[in-house]
Amino acid sequence: MTSSSIRVGVDIGGTFTDVALEHPGGLATCKVLTNYSQPEQAILDGIAQAAAQAGCDLAAIDQVIHGTTLVTNALIERRGAKLAFITTEGFRDVIEMRSENRFEQYDLNLTLPKPLVARRDRFTLNERMGPAGEVLLPLAEDDVAAMVERILAGGYEAVAIGLMHSYANDAHERQMAQALQAAAPQLSISISSVISPQMRELPRFNTVIANAYVQPQVADYLGRLVERLRQAGVRAPVFMLHSGGGLISVETAAEQPVRLLESGPAGGAIFAAHLARGHGLDKVLSFDMGGTTAKICLIEDGAPKTANTFEVARTYRFKKGSGMVISTPVVEMVEIGAGGGSIASIDSMGRIQVGPRSAASEPGPACYQRGGEAPTVTDANLLLGRLDPENFAGGAIPLSTEAARRAVAAELTASTGLEVPDAAFGVTEMVDENMANAARVHTVENGRDIEHFTMIGFGGGAPLHACRLCEKLGIEELIIPPGAGVGSAIGFLKAPFSYEATRGLFQKLDQFDATAVNAALNEMEREARAFVDDGARGAATTTRLTAFMRYSGQGWEIPVSLPHKVFENSDQSLILAAFEDAYRTLFGRIIDGLKAEITNWSLVVATVLPDVVKIARHDSGTPADARREVSFFDAARRAIVTAREVERAAMTPGKIVDGPAVIVENETTTIVTCAYRAIGQGDGSLLLRRKGEAA
């Protein structure tokens, strides 16, 4: 796209729909409440507001980039198609048996999440492929015809097909799919060899089932969105941000909606990575807190950490292992139910708990005066003086302090004996501790020391909580970027067009078959380039190759970066050295005497990102002008403090305000606690630095 292009990023969250419109004159942003019954309506309203703010016509928009939680929400809420699953005889119950790991070892009443497909809707075929792709048991035409009749008689809207070892040979999956498509052209069909052609049947089956489960709903929504945009005068192509942090066409997204899982949070990670490169930061902790959830991601060397599997729809207090394992490229992050709309309650032991339930946008927090009665984090922040009731969301949503007080008193003070201010403090301190614990666990799991990271905080809620989080984590520096309230939507505008192709190809390294590997990689590159060219034909691209490797006898692999080249059998030593280097980085040592093996391959083709403008750092300057004095509760001081309120626009490069301070803008508020000093930076960011023990 050229510098004169007009591009729009739209992120639908659980509470707000964020819009960022990039135009020759700068950036126009806005937040509107998410419309649950018609999510596309909030998009249209937000784009219209942003276009009016920028002074541009809707017909002049060149590109719309969208991220959505629709897929995630459909899986969590079990709102999908009537679905059948076809698998190999003997493997009908794989998705119910799971990995047989207990994610809560000592809970005698442990409840496992139910599979998306009930047992009565899981069918089997008498066929079998071997792990090398050899046909061990052919699939008979009579069996295929009988299965077609069963599916048609069941009145299913979608079918997922996952047969054993189809990643090595997909002939039987395609044979079954073609017969179903010929008999019922309207039927939505997903096959695992296309959606997730990798080893391990549990994540592969889960992934194709999840794709088929949401495909009719997502295809309908995306078709409706494109049509409504055209009717409104926006004739620009629509692209979707996938969970791996790149852009794909809306047509690809409709066919493979499982790639849209976590697409909104991925935009936030892209946003943070862009900021990290501009500020020359090698170690960044991305902190994205919205109305419903908080997301934490590691950014190292200017790129977010990625993975090829993750869990969705966790059912046990967001505990690892309690969700559905999905095998699709994703920006790796930890996500917890901690947002502005998270509901506070008293548990059976008389303790304040926050989340994971959220008031979302309908009805919203009690202070919104839209019918919500439960106390939320936003209500608590309002009672502690951290929000201006007259200027929330630029004055678009007036807040009621009295409604917040009633909600906290009714639900939190009666059974605990706490006063309302103490209960409000308990709510914010609990949510801050939950987020701090999540950040600690995430960094430890990745072998990192959190004190050496700089935090980048964005989303409507992060600037309110980021200073307190840094106090708890021992982080010295924090950046609040411009447009923080709509960070994910801005991140969409920074994302490359990209596609990740994956293949299962098991080989022991001492029996490395370069011919088979090169054939697979060539096929993967053709697949990935076809998708990238669909959105950015002729653009310069980069290619990234990853092998997933382990020692023989181990149960899981680690990602190993390799050069993208034509391999030779003699490259065993090169691959082994890369594996040992990656293994040593993660675990501090290698294991002598064990042989290595490769299970899966991943190849990413992405358009080249433009060079970022390096931001000159300001560490000192002159005091910013304050417009008035306000009061808020400083959690570390355990006291109400008198603070200066400063307009964000007044924090020009080199302008300083010492905490306690409140920096206000339309889409969020930054709380500068007593321990920190805020300094305006050249790109409009705020650098918050710890003042030291004397503070």
Q: What is the pTM of this model?
A: 0.85
Which one-letter amino acid corresponds to residue 173? E
| DSSP, residue by residue, 274-300 | HHHHHHT-SEEEEEEE-SS-EEEEEEE
Check if the beta carbon of residue 269 is closer than 8 Å to that of residue 332.
no
Check if the beta carbon of residue 75 is closer than 8 Å to that of residue 116.
yes
- Cα distances from 202 to residues 92, 199, 309, 538, 596, in angstroms, run 11, 9, 11, 38, 23
List the beta bridge partners of residue 677: 658, 689
Q: Render pLDDT for 2-12 as a digit per residue (tens, 0 to 9).
A: 556 899 999 98
What's the CA gap between 15 and 296, in Å, rounded? 19
CB neighbour class for 580 (10 Å; exposed up to 12, middle 13-18, buried from 19):
middle
Which one-letter amino acid corresponds to residue 97? M
pLDDT value at position 664? 93
Q: Render pLDDT for 621-636 as a digit per residue (tens, 0 to 9).
A: 899 999 899 999 999 9
pLDDT value at position 694? 37
Q: Render pLDDT for 245-294 as a digit per residue (tens, 0 to 9).
A: 888 889 989 999 999 988 888 899 999 999 999 999 999 999 999 888 88
Residue owning tokens 């691209």: 541
Higher pLDDT, 479 or 243: 479
Q: Is 429 helix (H, G, I), strand (E, B) or coil?
A: helix
Higher pLDDT, 77 or 511: 511
pLDDT value at position 262? 82
What's the CA gap between 456 and 271, in Å, rounded? 10
439 CA to centre of own chain: 15
pLDDT value at position 41? 92
What's the CA gap between 296 and 331, in Å, rounded? 11
- Cα distances from 135 to residues 129, 138, 172, 180, in angstroms, run 5, 6, 9, 22
pLDDT value at position 4? 60
Q: Render pLDDT for 626-665 as a digit per residue (tens, 0 to 9).
A: 989 999 999 999 999 999 999 999 999 999 999 899 999 9
pLDDT value at position 695? 39
Q: Pairing relation of β-strands 283-289 and 303-304? A: unpaired
